[in-house]
Structure 1
Amino acid sequence: MNTQLLPTTPAASSSGRPERPSLSTPRPVRDRFAGQHKQRMLRTDLLTVIAWASVAAAVALWLADGGASTITSPAGLFTAGGIVAGLAGMDLVLLMLLLAARIPFIDRTIGHDRALEFHGKLGKPSLYLLLAHGVLIAIGYGMAEGLDPVTESVNLWMQVPDMWLAFVSMALFIAVVVTSLVAVRRRFPYEFWYVVHLLTYAAVATSIPHQFSVGGLFAAGTWQRWYWLAICISTGTALVYFRILEPVLATLRHQLTVAKVESVAPGVVNIVMRGRQLDQLAGTGGRFFIWRFLAPGMWWHPHPFSLSAEPVFTGPDGQGTMRITVRNLGDGSAGLLRLRKGTKVALEGPYGLLSTAARTKNKVVMIGAGIGITPLRALLETTPFGPGEASVLLRGHTEQELYLSREILELCQERGVRLFHLTGPRSQGRSTWLPEDAVRNGYSLTSYVPDIKDADVYVCGPATWAANVRADAAKAGVREDQIHHERFNW
């Protein structure tokens, strides 16, 4: 049998089969994380209101300036539509930048990967609005002057100050959106896509001048001008601080260097780093950092990895060591297995909501596969729960692929956690996260954790496998806000 319940508590069985659910029903206990969850949902609602309000405010700028009174002809109608589309499109672009700025309030409210998901979803609408802005303006101005849209566009490029920058901006926006498409992105290495994506900042920068030099909406001395300047400057400041200045300060503050690289399994290593003020990074189990190892040929490779253990303190001022566990997946990660002692390390973060901050229930279930087991090991070490309130399920083809399983077993024995090892080949032709034998015996999540619908479920592993776990959890009655899965993205 490939399903093994490890004897982590005196009541645990090593028979190899999931235990049957108890017939007794314990008295319900108030979830101590309910208040935390309610506050996070309120913050989510607040962010949603702010986002929609910002778009409405952009259109209100034009209305407050008497824009509707200019619609007295077909030419005026096209021009008005172009102005409104441009204002809304630019506002969405600024929202996209804020979602990608790694602002702590946003990250701790909706999580890093969800922020990037919304960032991506806004890409096409903002581009369509900006394209509509250009086309409608060309049509409206052209109709007023008796010219066709192409001729009017050429005139705008040649005769209107800063308008050529707007055309350059549009070309850059198109390049960014096209390279963000999944089908296109997969054809290029991450570094190529990342460099092209930086064109977003150039696109925004080149789009701003004509907004203030063309037309009267943002004329000098108007409150509309000050409002638009404020949101542009605030967005730029957030980007510079959280994407550039804060990572530099964190790197200087912690002064991390590689202490040792130790083998865990074939192609898998622990990278132990030494630094100071590591107490500021404690208690982040499950959240991830972006690491850059400052060695020749490696410094420009960003690596998103979670800690696989809490920092160990060995001296004053938070001095100690911290650890990540890395698997050789080719490309940039292969070089990490050969890091030399003393290599300096730059870091950004922590990011994400795969942590206690996402908890909604007293009970917790952690399900990991392959290298995805390692963030759960750190979460197991730090997240609060009482004896019997947690279960851990580890999935791998063999016991050797259950990385850090010995450490996890010790933590489970110490904290009274039920631990399952699920090993064996995949079930061919079925969408399942379980090994073949478990599928044949009709097992599901409730076979291992009968009361899973009353628990938070943390899932970490390959994308397709994780999707199958989440589907099984939903089928078992686990609400969406109790299922926590996060992609570690840049």
Structure 2
Amino acid sequence: MSSTIRSNGPSPSVREATAQRDRVRSLRRRERAEVVLVAACLVSVIVAVMLFLTSGRPAQIADLASAVTAAGIVTGLVGSDLLLLMLVLAARIPWVDRTFGQDAAIRLHRRLGKPAVYLILGHGALIIVGYSLRDGLSLWHQTLSLFSGADMLLAWLGTGLLLVVVVTSLVVVRRRLAHEVWHAVHLVSYAAVLVAVPHQLSAGQVLAGSTVQTFYWICLYVLAFGSIAWFRFAAPLLATDEHQLRVTAVEPLSPGVFSIHLSGRDLSRLGVRGGQYAIWRFWSRRTWWHAHPISFSAVPIDTEARLTVRALGAGTKRLARLKAGTKVSFAGPYGIFTDAARTAPRLAVVAAGIGITPARALLEDTDLARGEATVVLRATDRSQVFLWDETERLVEQSGGAVVEMIGRRPSGQSSWMSADAVTRGASIVAVLPDLLDSDLFVCGPGDWADLVVGEARAAGLPERRIHVEKFV
């Protein structure tokens, strides 16, 4: 293990104290916004139920059959509400991304998925039981009767499409699917929600008439599908047209690793922060159909941008053969792996492999005080030290410390460090002596990053100061 150490410098200046106050205010705003977002989901569900309870329908409950049917309607409303909220969370709305990150929004989106589908299935089951009790039919004959009518057929089709989405989300299934296939299947969720609209117009009567309940559901549908249409499709198309990005060169850095240099216009207007990423599509014959989430490895200037890629599969390998002049479309930037997430006076960064890309851009975009940053660069061997020289220069210019740690992890032990460092008794506090006064940014392979985070938590670093960007 080798290291380049610089003095920690003088005590924090007035400028640093002001920056610290700004970071604390930013953290409080984000925490409040996150609470508001989660509360909004809960309030949305409560409103959907309350509007049904005040619609006059519950007054029609006179026996077991009508009670079971009413319960089925409520589960259907709550399930539909959650599905629409899931679309909002997946729409890549900038406010949501700035608040607690697109990754966190997608995690919440996934958490809502199973309850939503269970509720929709419960809706169908309760309706069948309720109608069966009312009409005196067997469950089988009642089920068959519900296949009559176009709206009911669409409702069954929507349920089937949702089940397809859920099944393909299972880890054991998803690993066997190409990313583009999985993504295409999940676009089906939009269709699954849309095809249920006629059912709500007729059988559910939710969108019929001009009641407050009707107004609420129309607004929710407009918010969900309007957000998807604008932020997932229209806004990226407009940004692509405005900035006119094209490939200027592909620069090999190491076996399987290369930088893609881009040219464009008014790129500073994108507002990219160091540590962010975008969703990229390269319009060549062999790559146009595959979108890639790739971090900026340098903060763009007005006419130039740079991405650095590790070829992990057939799709990313093709990017190494891109020709100069290839047109590029994108959506973003996304992510809160940036200096704006900081709340502590010092900065600690631990990066491994291709995780160096957001780390290098983060350091470039951070106004570092003398001795403020300590950076650990981790690699299995010398083939993985790409962009290290640039990163080290950025840290050393501010008098920070850089620790290079090269070597394989110890066999039979759960450690993110090299075997040599473990043998010497190194710990995260030893290599990052100011850890407890720092925000920790970790970027690298998922299982490795989990080990770094686990040791930082065990050392007493608060959760709010840990920021992670995971790579395959």
Query: Which digits, 9 at most, give the CA deviation of each residue in 1:386-418, with x for residues without a partner?
Result: 111111111001233122011112111212221
Match of 1:430, SS? coil
When structure 1 is superposed on structure 2, of 27-36 and 141-150 the one drifting more is: 27-36
1:302-317 equivalent positions in 2, closer than 5 A? 302-312=291-301
Amino acid at match of 2:151: D
Structure 2 residue matching 1:122: 3-state secondary structure: helix
In the alignment, structure 1 residue 75 sits paired with structure 2 residue 58:
no
Is 1:246 paired with 2:235? yes
Partner of 1:286: 275
TM-score calculated relative to the size of structure 1: 0.92
Q: Matched residue of 1:415: which SS?
A: coil
Shift of 1:215: 4.3
Deviates more, 1:463-472 or 1:213-222: 213-222
Task: Choose from 325, 330, 336 the match for 1:342.
Answer: 325
Q: What are the Cα deviations for residues 183-238 of structure 1, in whole angstroms up to 9, with x where unaligned?
A: 11001111111111111011001111110112444431222112111111121111
Taking the aligned partners of 1:295 and 1:25, their CA distance within structure 2 comes to 53
Q: Give the Cα separation in 2 of the matches to 1:282 and 1:203.
A: 35
1:486 aligned counterpart, secondary structure: strand
Contact 2:283 2:326 in 1 (8 A): yes
Given that residues 113 and 488 in structure 1 are in contact (C-alpha distance below 8 angstroms), is that contact kept between their aligned partners in structure 2?
A: no
1:91-170 to 2 correspondences below 5 Å = 91-158=81-148, 160=149, 162-170=151-159
Structure 1 equivalent of residue 2 of structure 2: 4
Q: Is the 8 A contact 2:260 2:307 kept in 1?
A: yes
1:326-365 maps to which residues of 2 (within 5 A)? 326-365=309-348
Structure 2 counterpart of 1:220: 209
Q: Deviations over 1:246-282 (max 9, x none)?
A: 1101111110111111121122111100000111135
Q: In 2, are the aligned partners of 1:360 and 1:456 still within 8 Å (CA)?
A: yes
* Percentage of matched positions with identical amino acids: 43
1:51 equivalent to 2:38? Answer: no
* 1:56, distance to aligned residue in structure 2 (A): 0.3
Partner of residue 16, structure 1: none
CA distance in 2, matches of 1:384, 1:67: 61
The corresponding residue for 1:295 is 284
Does the residue aligned with 2:147 lie in a helix, a strand or coil? helix
Structure 1 unaligned regions, length at least 5:
13-21, 313-317
Say whether the 8 Å CA contact 2:445–2:471 is kept in structure 1: no
Between the aligned partners of 1:323 and 1:167, the Cα distance in structure 2 is 47
Q: C-alpha distance in 2, partners of 1:401/1:364?
A: 23
The one-letter code sitting in structure 2 at the alignment partner of 1:358 is A
1:113-149: CA deviation from partner (whole Å, max 9, x where unpaired): 1111111111110000000000101110111111122
- The CA distance in 2 between the partners of 1:385 and 1:410, in whole Å, is 13
2:222 to 216, 220, 233: 233
> Which of 360, 376, 383 is matched with 1:393 structurally?
376
Following superposition, the deviation at residue 488 of structure 1 comes to 6.8
- Computed over aligned residues only, the root mean square deviation of the Cα atoms, in angstroms, reads 1.9
- Counterpart code for 1:199: V
Q: Please report how far the alpha carbon of residue 69 of structure 1 lies from its aligned counterpart in structure 2 after TM superposition.
A: 2.4
Residue type at the aligned position of 1:310: V
Distance 1:450 1:72, change over 3 A: same
The 8 Å contact of residues 97 and 336 in structure 2, kept in 1 or not, is answered as yes
Deviation at 1:48, TM superposition (A): 1.4
Structure 2 residue identity aligned to 1:371: I
- Aligned residue type for 1:387: R
Instruction: Give the total of aligned pairs.
Output: 468
One-letter amino acid of the counterpart of residue 416, structure 1: G
- Structure 2 stretches lacking a partner, 5+ long: none
Give the 4+ runs in structure 1 shifted more than 2 A.
24-32, 66-72, 215-219, 486-489
Q: Residue 428 of structure 1 aligns to which amino acid in structure 2?
A: S
Q: Match of 2:249?
A: 260
Give the 3-state SS of the residue equivalent to 2:293 in structure 1: strand
Shift of 1:287: 0.7
User: Normalized against structure 2, the TM-score is what?
Assistant: 0.95
Task: Supply the AA of the counterpart residue of 1:226.
Answer: F
Residue 381 of structure 1 is matched in structure 2 by: 364
| Structure-1 separation of matches of 2:252 and 2:205 | 66
- Is the Cα contact below 8 Å between 1:307 and 1:375 reproduced in 2? yes
Deviation at residue 487 of structure 1 after TM alignment:
4.2
Query: How much has 1:176 moved relative to structure 2?
Result: 0.5
Aligned partner of 1:485 among 435, 460, 468: 468
